[in-house]
Amino acid sequence: MPQWLSKADCKAVLKSLLSAELADYRGTPVPDWQYSPSIDSLERLHLAACVNEFFCLHETGVEDRLLMTQSVDDWASLVADAVADTSGVTFRTSGSTGTPSPHLHRWEDIEAEAHALGHRFATLMPIQRVVSWLPLHHLYGFMLGVALPGVVSIPRLSVQTTTLPPLLPGDLVVTVPPRWDYLARSRKDWPEGVMGVSSTAPLSSATSDALIARGLAGLLDIYGSTETGGVATRWRRDAAYQLLGHWKRHDAHHLERVQGGMVTPLLDNTRWHDETTFTLLGRHDDVVVIGGVNVNPQHVAQRLKSLESVVDCAIRTTGSTDKCRLKAFVVPRGSEQEAADAITQAISLWPAAERPVRVDYGDSLPTNAMGKLADW
pLDDT tens-digit readout, 297-330:
988 999 999 999 999 999 999 987 777 899 999 9
pLDDT at 201: 78
Is residue 162 very low, low, confident or very high in pLDDT (cuts 50, 70, 90)?
A: confident
**173 φ, ψ (degrees, to nearest 5):** -95, 125
CATH number of 106-283: 3.40.50.12780
Question: What is the average pLDDT value for the chain, to the nearest integer?
Answer: 91
Question: Which ranges of the chain does DSSP label H, i.e. alpha helix?
Answer: 7-26, 41-55, 72-82, 107-122, 139-142, 148-151, 177-186, 205-213, 297-305, 336-347
- The CATH architecture that domain 288-361 belongs to is 2-Layer Sandwich (3.30)
Rg (CA), the chain: 22
Residues with Cβ within 8 Å of 341's Cβ and at least 6 positions away in sequence, in order, are none
> pLDDT, tens digit, for every residue of 26-55?
888 777 666 677 889 999 999 999 999 999
Report residue 98's pLDDT band, with 50, 70 and 90 as the boundaries. Answer: low
> Parallel, antiparallel, or unpaired for β 293-295 and 288-290?
antiparallel
Task: Say if CB 366 and CB 357 are below 8 A apart.
Answer: no
Answer yes or no: is pLDDT of 97 > 60: no
Contact between residue 54 and residue 10 where contact means Cβ atoms under 8 Å apart: no
What are the strands, taking DSSP E only, across the chain?
88-92, 102-106, 129-132, 156-158, 171-174, 195-198, 218-225, 229-234, 241-243, 247-251, 254-257, 264-265, 268-272, 277-283, 288-290, 293-295, 310-318, 325-332, 356-361
Query: How would you classify the pairing of strands 310-318 and 325-332?
Result: antiparallel
Q: How far is CA 328 from CA 67, 195, 233, 300, 309, in A?
A: 43, 39, 34, 9, 14
Q: What is the pLDDT of residues 247-293, one digit of tens each?
A: 999 998 899 999 887 889 898 889 999 999 999 987 766 788 888 78
Bridge partner residues of 235 (DSSP): none
CA 130 vs. chain centroid, Å, equals: 18
Residues 132 and 144 sit within 8 Å (Cβ to Cβ)? yes
Structural domain boundaries in the chain: 7-86, 106-283, 288-361
* Cα atoms found within 13 Å of the Cα of residue 329, Cβ hemisphere only: 14
Among 233, 53, 201, smallest CA distance to 134 is for 201
Q: Do residues 279 and 304 touch, judged by C-beta distance below 8 A?
A: no
